[in-house]
């Protein structure tokens, strides 16, 4: 994937991360970079990387670590967070059904594409799929903490827990921040930096949050990468279950059009058909990406066999 394509992937992952209920990990899985992302995070958090940086072997670290991949992807994610935080916040407040419908279609199609990546579907994978669905359904149904602690360690904890959720397909890091009572604070700090107001407190808040993110990534990505290597099919089935369970949260129609309210049946009107159109668009988009990826893989395989 070229740098421009990777940057666009980062934009999509970053946009998904801003929306409570939508998982950036799901978008990474859909777009085919999930395992590469886990491996890159594992490389950066490995003892070998730490030794190189502590001994100032910067040239060796530059040559052996996947810097271009991580930097371009991170630039896309940060760009989406800065550019899309305000419009997405407006959409969540004023056009909730439309934005959720589009992502509902994306996630529903991604369940199919993720399960298609199994080497073989067998009965032992069903418990993992069911357990993942149950956990995802339960997590997105939790209620938010009403009076979260206002301290530095809690912000770091929020960063660590949220990033673990963000790299899990089906579990939304933004929704975890909502549950922990810090979503509006983090999103507000990003908006403040973009608007150049309250820069000092916003930088401090995001710095503490980022420390937690780094700590969470360093530990959880190692575990997830290990499970992919040892139990790939079971891990994929469980992650697909998470994604199925998350559909509960991103059902487009809520009581009074408020994200935190319970799901309801839609009224059949023009807005309903528009939302269904966006849902179908999201579904078709993912399936088209999957077909294109399969064709590309076959072409690459035939070229390598010819050589």
- pLDDT greater than 80 at residue 166: no
CA 230-163-237 angle, 5° bins: 35
Tens digit of each residue's pLDDT (9 = 90 or more) over 176-207: 787 788 877 887 888 788 778 888 888 999 89
> For position 69, what pLDDT does the model report?
87
> For position 231, what pLDDT does the model report?
87
Confidence of residue 253 (pLDDT cuts 50, 70, 90): very high
- pLDDT greater than 80 at residue 276: yes
Give the integer Cα–Cα distance in Å for 44 and 68. 12
Instruction: Annotate 129-195 with DSSP letters as a single string.
Output: HHHHHHHHHHHTTPPPPSS---SHHHHHHHHHHHHHHHTSTTS-HHHHHHHTT-HHHHHHHHHHHHH
Segment 232-238 mean pLDDT: 87
Q: What are phi and psi of 119, to 5 degrees?
A: -65, -35
- pLDDT greater than 80 at residue 47: no
Give Cα 130 distance to the centre of its chain.
Answer: 21
Length of the chain: 307
Report pTM: 0.70
């Amino acid at each position: 994937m070229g740098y421009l394509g990777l940057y666009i992937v980062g934009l999509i992952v970053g946009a998904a991360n801003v929306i409570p209920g939508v998982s950036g990990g799901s978008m990474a899985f859909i777009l085919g970079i999930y395992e590469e992302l886990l491996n890159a995070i594992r490389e950066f958090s490995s003892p070998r990387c730490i030794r190189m940086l502590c001994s100032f072997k910067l040239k060796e670290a530059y040559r052996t670590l996947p810097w271009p991949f991580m930097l371009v992807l991170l630039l896309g994610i940060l760009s989406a967070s800065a550019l899309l935080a305000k419009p997405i916040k407006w959409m969540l407040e004023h056009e909730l059904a439309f934005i959720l419908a589009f992502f509902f279609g994306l996630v529903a199609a991604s369940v199919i594409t993720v399960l298609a990546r199994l080497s073989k579907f067998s009965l032992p994978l069903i418990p993992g799929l069911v357990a993942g669905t149950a956990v995802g359904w339960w997590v997105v149904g939790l209620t938010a903490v009403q009076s979260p602690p206002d301290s530095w360690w809690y912000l770091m904890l929020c960063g660590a827990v949220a990033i673990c959720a963000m790299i899990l397909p089906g579990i939304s890091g933004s929704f975890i921040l909502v549950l922990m009572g810090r979503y509006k604070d983090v999103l507000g700090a990003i908006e403040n930096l973009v608007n150049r107001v309250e820069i000092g407190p916003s930088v401090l808040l995001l710095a503490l949050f980022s420390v937690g993110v780094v700590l969470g990534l360093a530990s959880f990505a190692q575990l997830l990468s290990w499970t992919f290597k040892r139990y790939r099919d079971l891990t994929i089935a469980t992650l697909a279950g998470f994604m199925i369970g998350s559909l509960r949260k991103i059902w487009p129609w809520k009581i009074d059009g408020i994200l935190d309210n319970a799901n309801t049946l839609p009224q059949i009107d023009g807005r309903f058909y528009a939302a269904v159109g966006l849902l179908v668009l999201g579904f078709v988009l993912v399936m088209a990406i999957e077909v294109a990826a399969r064709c590309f893989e076959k072409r690459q395989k035939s070229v390598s066999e010819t050589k």
